[in-house]
Structure formats: structure tokens, C-alpha cells
Amino acid sequence: MTAVPDRDAALEPARRRARRALAAGVALGSTGHIAAVTVATIVAKDLIGSDALAGLPGATVVLGAATGAVLLSSLMARRGRRPGLVAGYGIGVIGALVATAAILVRSFELLLVGTTLIGFGNAANQLSRYAAADMVPPARRASAIGMVVWGGTVGSVIGPWLVPIATVMAIGVGLPGLAGPYLVPVVFVGAAALLSLRMLRPDPYELADTTPDEMAAAIDAAGADSDPIRAILRRPAIVAALMALVVGQITMTLIMTMTPLHMTEHGHDLAAVGLVLSGHTLGMYAFSPVSGWLTDRVGRLQTIYLGTVVLAVSAVMTIVAPPEGGLILPTGMFLLGLGWSFAYVGGSALLSDHLELHERTRVQGVADAMIWSAAAAASLGSGLIVAAAGYAALGVLGLGLVVIAVLVITRNRASATAARA
């Protein structure tokens, strides 16, 4: 049931403006975030002189996003979406400044503090999709999510491109070259914070697509005891959504993390690596509006199943791809991003559909924390797996995870459909 037609008509201009602001914030935030993480391992090696812990700043960024998802969603539940997003982007700016200071004083420990705080900015980016979903009817919810996720396309293209420019500019003003990329998020994530502060008025909560009775119930529930998080997470539809989100993230991260190293070890230059990763990010973000449209047209679970099939195909292509080159690995990496997109948008929409308004924010925060914690574990574990069993083992493990996800989702499918009905 949606809001009263007169209220919908009055709020629609403000809703469109807020959705555009959310997408623009994600574009700005992702640009700064990707510029920072692009040089994370390089900066770490420069500071400690070893490859052993060079991946740690990347892991702390992901763990910061997981922590930020919980803390920011808790703030949003009490104060609104706008304060939570502004706080997340603001903490991300502070993290970039701390990371810059770490390079100046050559402190690896301070760098880890900064990269953890940078993760909060990425948490705000990711939580923006749920704010957009609240402001449209259920039939358009996935499309709204897809358009906000599409903002990440801007960051995936512009972020790496700004790295060499920022490096040269930093040297030009007397700073270490590697400090330059960490000043990019100061500008871009800072702009996302100011944009959210200025443009998200009224707060997306006030623009939610809901009836007055549902809004009143949400207000009453905010001051009363609600179902415990554990009870909500055991609902069949929520289990299915979480499996889609978490397994999609793990499978994608496992394979993507080690692909650049795998390629360089078999004689491919950085241009070839960059081309393959560009195709991967293209699959992740550029087609997210298609993922949203498909999810709204054919159904959440159907799109999730499609995503699992595409992920499985990409995992198989990873296993059989010849190391010397060819089209199999680039195609597999593109499909890896596309399968993630289907699972991510479909899972996010399914999660929102089966939560009451007063439950959404806190459960969505926990869900994103699970996603990013899983990504951190996959990122750290992928190197160990390759060292022990080779690159193809990542594809085998990813394929096994996808099969498990399909079995769990299918087990919960009937109950999820019945609950929605």
C-alpha cells in the first residue's frame, strides 16, 4: 500500500531532487574513494618497505566500511538519513587528511587509522541506495537502487584517472607525490558531504513512500521495543536477500583481488591489467540501471537467480582461462561484475521489500556490515588460497559458494513469497 495520491503528487518534485542528490553524492564519494584505494598498497609498501603487509590498508578500508555501516545506520535511525550520510562523508574526509599526514610523517600505523576512517565515506555511499528505495513505490524500488549504484560508474572511471594528476600537483606544491591521491577524497568526498547537507532537505525519511498510518506506526515503533535483529535476520526473505548480497560480494572479491597479480605474473603489462579491470567495473556499475529495471519487471528472486548463474559462468571461465591471454579471462571478469550487479540490486530490493519502515535502517546497516566484513575476509584470504592452490582455486571456491547460495535461496523461496503475499 502506497501513500495518499495527493501527498504523492506534492512530494514527487522533492523526491526526484533527493534521488538525484543521492546519485550525485555517490558519484562524488566513489571518485574520492577509488582514488585513495588505488594507491593504498603502493603507499603501504613505500612506508614499510615490504609486500607482506601492503594489503592491510585496503583491508582496513573495507573494515571501516563495515563498522561505518552499523554506526551510521544507528545514527540514521535516530536522527534521519541526511545526518547519517553527512557524518559518513565527513568522517571519510577526516580519514583522507589523516592518511595524508601519515605520508608526511611516514607512519604506517597512522595510515591504517586514516584508511579505516576513509571506509566510513564508502559506507555512506552504499547506504544511499536504501534512502533512494524508500522514496518510491515497491514496483520502482529496484530501479531507484540501480540508478544510485550507477553513480559508482563515475568514480570507477574518474578516480584512477585523477591519481597521476594529483600526484604531479602534490609534487608541484612541495608535498610527497603519494600524498596527492589522498587529497582527492578531501575534495570529492567533502563535496558529497556538502551536497547531502544542502540538497537532502526534507530528509529522505520525510519523503518516504508510505501511508500516514504506516508513518505513525514507524514513529511509535521508534520509541518502543522492536523485534530483535536476530529474529528479523531469520525471516526467510531476509535470509535469501543476505545470501545474495554476501555470496555475490565474496565471489566477486575473491576473484577480482588476485586477478591483477595473476596477470602480471604471466607477463601481462599494466595496460592489459587496467583494461580487464575496467571491463570488470563496467559490468559492476554501468549496467546497474538495467539490473534495477529487470528486478522490477521480472522479480527480485528471478534477478538474483540470474545473477548467480552469471557468477557461476564467470567462476568457470576463471578456472579454464589460459594464463597466456585470450578473451576468456576478460569476458569472465566482465561477467563477474555483471553477476554481482544483478545479485546486489536484486538482493537490496528484496531486503527493503520485506522490512517495515521502522526496521529498515538498522537491519540494512547490519546487512552492509556483513557484506563488507565478508569482502574483507575474502580480500585477505584470496592471497592465501592462491599461494596454497593456485589462481584457479578461486574460481572453484566461488562456484561452490554460488551453489550453496542457490540452495539456501531456493529453500527459503516459498516462505519468502508467501510472506510478501
Top pLDDT among 208 and 108 is at 108
Task: Give the residue carrying C-alpha cell 540501480.
Answer: 146
- 118 shares its domain with 236: no
**CA 119 to CA 87: how far, in whole Å?**
12
- 112 shares its domain with 131: yes
Averaged pLDDT for residues 314-321: 93
Mean pLDDT check: name the lowest of 42-51, 179-188, 306-315, 333-342. Answer: 42-51
- 20 shares its domain with 83: yes
**CA 22 to CA 127: how far, in whole Å?**
10
Most confident of 21-30, 37-46, 316-325, 356-365: 21-30
* Cell numbers given for 222: 521508534
**CA 371 to CA 130: how far, in whole Å?**
15
pLDDT for res 355: 86
Using CA atoms, how far residue 77 sits from 83, 229, 307, 358, in Å, is: 10, 14, 31, 8
Handedness of CA 202, 205, 206, 210 (dihedral sign): positive
pLDDT for res 83: 96
- 261 shares its domain with 390: yes
**CA 75 to CA 71: how far, in whole Å?**
6
- 213 shares its domain with 77: yes
**CA 382 to CA 340: how far, in whole Å?**
18
200 within 8 A of 382, measured Cβ to Cβ = no
Mean pLDDT check: name the lowest of 47-56, 200-209, 214-223, 259-268. Answer: 214-223
Task: Give the residue carrying C-alpha cell 543476505.
Answer: 242
Most confident of 115-124, 225-234, 282-291: 115-124
Final residue of a domain: which of 172, 190, 223?
223
**CATH classification at residue 340:** 1.20.1250.20
75 within 8 A of 87, measured Cβ to Cβ = yes
- 54 shares its domain with 194: yes
- 217 shares its domain with 244: no
Number of domains into which the chain is organized: 2
φ/ψ of 225, rounded to 5, equals -75, 130
- 75 shares its domain with 218: yes
pLDDT for res 265: 79
**CA 99 to CA 109: how far, in whole Å?**
10
**CA 118 to CA 63: how far, in whole Å?**
10
Final residue of a domain: which of 177, 193, 223?
223
* CA–centroid distance for 145 within its chain: 12
- 19 shares its domain with 69: yes
- 104 shares its domain with 248: no
**CA 355 to CA 364: how far, in whole Å?**
9
Give the tens place of pLDDT for each residue, 393-419.
999 999 999 999 999 999 887 665 654
Domain coverage including residue 395? 225-421
Give the tens place of pLDDT for each residue, 91-147.
999 999 999 999 999 999 999 999 999 999 999 999 999 999 999 988 999 999 999
pLDDT for res 410: 92
Using CA atoms, how far residue 386 sits from 259, 370, 378, 401, in Å, is: 10, 24, 12, 17
185 within 8 A of 93, measured Cβ to Cβ = yes
**CA 288 to CA 75: how far, in whole Å?**
28
Final residue of a domain: which of 223, 247, 270?
223
How would you class 323 by CB atoms within 10 Å of its CB: exposed for 0-12, middle for 13-18, buried for 19 or more?
Answer: middle
Q: How confident is the model at residue 278 (pLDDT cuts 50, 70, 90)?
A: confident
- 205 shares its domain with 349: no
- 182 shares its domain with 34: yes
pLDDT for residue 216 is more than 70: no
